[in-house]
Amino acid sequence: MRHKDGSWRVLESTANVIRNADGEADGLVVVNRDITDRKRAEEALAHNALYDGLTGLANRTLLLERLERALSICRRHSDFKFAVLFIDIDEFKVINDSLGHPTGDVLLVQIARRLTACLRRVDTISRTVQSESDGNTFGETTIARPGGDEFLVLVEELHNPSDAIRIAERIRGRLAPPFEMDGREIVVTCSIGIAFSGDASAEAQGMLRDAEIAMYRAKHTGKARCEVFDNTMHASALSRLQLETDLRKAVERHEFRVYYQPIVSLQNGHIVGLEALSRWQRPQGIVMPNDFIPLADETGILLSINRQLILDACKQLRAWQQLFATDPLLFLSINISPKQFAQENLATQMGQLLQECGMDPHCVNLEITETIAMSDVERSAAVLSQLKALGVGLDIDDFGTGYSSLSRLQGFPVDTLKIDRVFVSRMDSDHETHEIVRIIVMLAHNLGLKVIAEGVETQAQLDLLRRMDCEQAQGYLFSKAADPQTIEQLLAANRSGIVPPIRAEGAASV
Ligand code: C2E
Ligand code: CA
Ligand code: CA
């Protein structure tokens, strides 16, 4: 009903019959109640239940509903095909952390707008004229934001998977131009996973999962790309999931061990320090770091593994420092993973941890790979300074693999450069590599940095490194990474001079 103020109101009416003495209907009593507010609230609730509050796009529930519908059409009409695209914004967390959540939200809204504009259906008339395979012929689309920086797109009436790839490429193209945020330009890339209809027995949840798996594949193979789901991905996703479950159990069961690899002074052959390296002691045998560290880091499990590793290793080092009172004291090198380095309060945590195990920070070196350090130079400089303030030493690990120039290291408060194994292993057979190593050592010294050569395996390599005045080295020539008992024997022998300071063969170790 129209109110006299001109607005429309929703009324709920109940009517009762008024009967006369003969029982005939004489009139009605109508009671009207203004329920406009309740209706509005109900509509808002219904909308909230199906749409994303931030972007106004569909939410996961509505998308699943549409997906169920598409699947049931597909079961009845085998030529009806559709695809689900799982879109994830690359490095969105970095944007959120550096510019703040409100800005992140504005960016998500703008991304949603571009997606909507890009997937707006070409009008029906021109559609029939379009060639069949230019990716422009598709039916209804549903764009959803299930949460975070993820978007889902359901595209109906496709012909084959390549149509879906073209749509994904179009989305990537549309998101490529920079976004204007607070007067600065932000460039966004995304990784897209595609699940294409085909299997009559497919289920909605299963298709979303397949699209997500394909999206992760796109991320792992370099980001800013798209990938179509296939069944081998399912198998590898399952085994990843199994590994993840096993890793979590392994943390509870304390299955991780610290192995140590000696770092040797090239001046006198003494073991001056030890690099702590993780090993996973499973009932079926030892698992090497390369087979579990990457997944452990991605899933955040590495944070608890490494916490335990630091506690164990510090305790061990203190025992050895007492047993072998060398001058200077033995030092311990610890690897810092990408995710650890990205933590907000790394320095504070590290400080507390070292204090907890009574470790003098001056005896600890933290190793950060060149690639991690260079990925965000400004932030790295700040984090490295905070760490430096604790008193720990800082090493750039795997140097030479990150294609950065030494001069870019100048702003970092680092002490040591660790030359990657790939250079050291080739330096005695390839003249050019030999020159590269020589120049790296020279430039590092000019910057006041100490150099450790990694992966020294031959006497020839050792001789060359000595001639370059490289300070320290580690590698199989001296010892592999080994368990504490083996290392203790090695330290005793190395320090008492019973065996030549630099050993030619590694002890029984891994
Ligand atoms: P990295 O930090 O570069 O460690 C050196 C790796 O080279 C170790 O492999 C070591 O055993 C190996 N190595 C040393 N000398 C030689 C040699 O002469 N020849 C050859 N072929 N290899 C040599 P490992 O222990 O398998 O570790 C692999 C990587 O896993 C490490 O590379 C490090 O990046 C990572 N990692 C290991 N433990 C941890 C950990 O506790 N935390 C973190 N964040 N990363 C770890
Ligand atoms: Ca290392
Ligand atoms: Ca290394």
Per-residue tens of pLDDT for the chain, all 510 residues: 999 999 999 999 999 999 999 999 999 999 999 988 888 888 888 888 899 999 999 999 999 999 999 999 999 988 899 999 999 999 898 888 888 899 999 999 999 999 999 987 654 333 433 444 454 568 889 999 999 999 999 999 998 888 899 999 999 999 999 999 888 889 999 999 999 987 767 899 999 999 999 999 999 888 888 988 987 777 877 888 899 999 999 999 999 999 999 999 999 999 999 999 999 999 999 999 999 999 999 889 999 999 999 999 999 999 999 999 888 999 999 999 988 999 989 999 999 999 999 999 999 999 999 888 888 888 999 999 999 999 999 999 999 887 667 777 888 999 999 999 999 999 999 999 999 999 999 989 999 999 999 999 999 999 999 999 999 999 999 999 999 999 999 999 987 755 455 544 444 344
**DSSP labels, 279-299:** EEEETTEEEPGGGTHHHHHHT
Instruction: Give distance in angstroms: CA of 72 to centre of ligand 2.
Output: 54
Q: Whose CA is nearest to atom 4 of ligand 1?
A: 277
Q: Is the CB of 479 under 6 A from ligand 1?
A: no
Q: Is the CB of 278 under 6 A from ligand 1?
A: yes
**Cβ-Cβ contacts under 8 Å for 317 (sequence gap 6 or more):** 274, 330, 332, 359, 363
pTM for this model (two decimals) = 0.68
Cα Dmax for the chain: 126
Give the DSSP H/E element, type plus range, for residue 452: strand 450-453
Q: Is the CB of 80 under 6 A from ligand 1?
A: no
Instruction: Give distance in angstroms: CA of 319 to centre of ligand 3.
Output: 26
What does DSSP say about strands 393-399 and 364-369: parallel, antiparallel, or unpaired?
Answer: parallel
For residue 474, the ligand 1 atom closest to its alpha carbon is 15
Instruction: Give distance in angstroms: CA of 302 to centre of ligand 2.
Output: 15
Instruction: Give distance in angstroms: CA of 404 to centre of ligand 1.
Output: 21
Q: Is the CB of 453 under 6 A from ligand 1?
A: no
pLDDT at 127: 41
Instruction: Give distance in angstroms: CA of 354 to centre of ligand 1.
Output: 22
Question: Can you tell me the distance from the alpha carbon of 247 to that of 403, in angstroms, rounded to the nearest whole number?
Answer: 33
pLDDT at 502: 56
pLDDT at 121: 63
pLDDT at 360: 96
Q: Whose CA is nearest to atom 44 of ligand 1?
A: 337
Q: Which ligand neighbours the alpha carbon of 420 most closely?
A: 3
Q: Is the CB of 309 under 6 A from ligand 1?
A: yes
Q: Whose CA is nearest to atom 41 of ligand 1?
A: 278
Mutate to test the pocket of ligand 1, among 277, 399, 502 (most ligand atoms within 8 A of CB): 277
Q: Which ligand neighbours the alpha carbon of 402 most closely?
A: 3
SS3 277: strand
**DSSP labels, 24-88:** -EEEEEEEEEE-HHHHHHHHHHHHHHHB-TTT--B-HHHHHHHHHHHHHHHHH-TT-EEEEEEEE
For residue 420, the ligand 1 atom closest to its alpha carbon is 3
Instruction: Give distance in angstroms: CA of 418 to centre of ligand 3.
Output: 7
Q: Which ligand neighbours the alpha carbon of 476 most closely?
A: 1
